[in-house]
Amino acid sequence: MTKNCKYIALLAQTLEKRPVRSGFILGAITVLGFAPSSVFLIPILTCALLFFLLHEETAKKIFLISFSFSFGLLIAGTSWIYVSLHDFGGMHPVLAIFATILLSATFALPPAIIQALLAKVVPSPHRRLLVILPIGLALSDWCRGWFLTGFPWLSIGYSQIPISPLSNYAPVLGIYGVSLACACCSGSLGYLFKYLATKEINPNWKVGLIMPTLILCLSIALAPIKWTEKISQKSTTVSLLQGNIAQNVKWTPEWLSKTMMIYLDMVRQEKTDLILLPETAIPLLSTNVPEWYWRALREHAQKNDSHILLGIPEKSEEGKFYNSVLHISSDKTNRYRKHHLVPFGDYFPMRSITSVLLNALSMPMSNFSSGAANQKPFDLGKQILGVDICYEDAFGEEIIRQLPEATVLANFTNDAWWGESFGPQQHLQIAQARSIETGRELLRVTNTGVTAVINHRGHIITRLPQFSENVLRAEIYGRKGITPYSQWGNLAFVLLSFIIILLSLKSRPYWSKTEKR
């Protein structure tokens, strides 16, 4: 024990020499906890060391270290933004690097501000380490989900999806509840680390083992609960079409006809109940698609009693553009229009100011309008399909709007913008979280990958290799019922967080006695 404590003390001294730099390094290392590496214990350990660095610091120092950690996490974990802007958007390398740094720095602000404010309110090092800092981290993840329209990417909870026992909290408290469980474990381990790093072992060091044990036990107790059940023992057959159209040619006139024929030929080979084509599979306004093409799709749907869903841009009678999914069957056409748009991707805010940036990019169809917030899922006879497009699946509260009616979820996306980076793998992990939160199977159809079918527990049933022209065929089962998260959204997590903070403030006498020992 003494020898091990010596090494722990040395690590503590190394971290404390340059805490801001240490925060950045810990943040960058945390990325290894997310897909594609998915070593889910790493974020728990790095956050434990982060909390150790923060718990006795001033509010100003806490702001700097927290900012450094979040900036390191985002700059290392979202390097695919550079790939999107430079490799496919045509932005100058210097501008693309600057934009990536600016975005990472902007979304590193909420965690820094929240942790500094909470530290100001709660000066007690013990309370900070065991309660306040973990709550602050989870609330920071939640805040990033709506700050400046939201960027919830790399919320700590996602690192636990789907194999960590802590993922069992997702159907109850959502992904931010998983972040909270993860952070509370980190806080306790940080407490343990603090006392192991001292020359004499304080008898209170065992407190650091209590919280993780309780959290793990509750998680194990939640595991066997069946929040949803199959609507029928009869399966629905699906075909997910991955056309693998390279992003640098997708929108060129030379490839338009070829792209349309690739997908039409793929559709004609399928006789399944559902046939799904990815986001903007047809890179042409729906009104400009030849009538013979629509007729061919409808005839195939009628002949095989199939439902075809395809991504395509639309222009309304009012002149607005939408990123849409059309549902084509033998007798009707329905649509879903993307609601949560990506700034500087789907649209450019304050176009009079950002027109210079727009001119520097080669991003077609970047002037979309937002669809209605509460759109009904598609009634496909055997299944009721809850639809979302690309980035929308990062927002759990928006997905549950189509529940409990939806029996299956479907995400239509085009991750070709991110090339061979780990962005598509991270996006797949986010989709897995939505399956667990809602207790629904999820169909993920993409242009270049990762196309996959995910079960209601967040595990991948089957998937296609990236960058291949292929069809993923599977059998799925619709589910009914509603998880606590689907019913309450993030409200339960937010209320629980503030209740814990208030209880911590109320229990000052206990903490005062603990700190004197």
Predicted pLDDT at 343: 73
Predicted pLDDT at 431: 98
pLDDT in tens, 362-397: 555 567 899 999 999 999 989 999 999 999 999 999
* Burial of 34 per CB tally in 10 Å (0-12, 13-18, 19+): buried
Give the helix/strand (H/E) hosting 275: strand 274-276
- Of 57, 279, 392, 441, which one is the catalytic site residue? 279
**% residues pLDDT > 70 (the chain):** 91
- Of 184, 194, 270, 338, which one is the catalytic site residue? 338
Predicted pLDDT at 512: 52
- Of 88 and 254, which is predicted with more confidence? 254
Predicted pLDDT at 345: 67
The percent helix, strand, coil of the chain (3-state, each to 5) is 55, 15, 30
pLDDT in tens, 6-29: 888 888 899 999 999 999 999 999
Q: Does the annotation count 279 as an active-site position?
A: yes
- Which range of 197-201, 216-220, 364-368 scores highest in mean pLDDT? It is 216-220
Average pLDDT along the chain: 91
- Of 297 and 505, which is predicted with more confidence? 297
- Of 314, 390, 437, 441, which one is the catalytic site residue? 390
Confidence category of residue 203, pLDDT binned at 50, 70, 90:
low
Q: Give the largest Cα separation in the chain, rounded.
A: 81
pLDDT in tens, 424-435: 999 999 999 999
Confidence category of residue 509, pLDDT binned at 50, 70, 90:
low
Query: Region 194-206: what's the mean pLDDT?
Result: 68
pLDDT in tens, 141-181: 999 999 999 999 999 999 999 999 999 999 999 999 999 99
Predicted pLDDT at 84: 87
Q: What region does 151 belong to: left with phi over 0, alpha with psi -120 to 50, or beta?
A: beta
CA distance to 62, 172, 406, 442, 476, per residue, from 230 (Å): 48, 19, 12, 14, 10
Which distant-in-sequence residues (6+ apart) come within 8 Å of 384 by Cβ? 377, 378, 405, 406, 407, 408, 478
pLDDT reading at 445 higher than 70: yes
Predicted pLDDT at 205: 62
Q: Domains in the chain, please, with CATH?
A: 2-227+490-512 (no CATH), 236-477 (3.60.110.10)
Predicted pLDDT at 515: 54
Query: Region 180-204: what's the mean pLDDT?
Result: 83
Q: Which two tokens stand for residue 4?
A: 């091990």
Tell me which of 181-195, 240-254, 297-311, 364-378 is least confident: 364-378
pLDDT reading at 421 higher than 80: yes
Predicted pLDDT at 210: 86
Nearest CA among 163, 190, 165, 156 for reference residue 31? 156
pLDDT reading at 207 higher than 80: no
How far, in Å, CA of 471 to CA of 273, rounded? Answer: 14
Phi, psi of 327, deg, nearest 5: -105, 115
How far, in Å, CA of 410 to CA of 407, rounded? Answer: 10
Predicted pLDDT at 332: 72
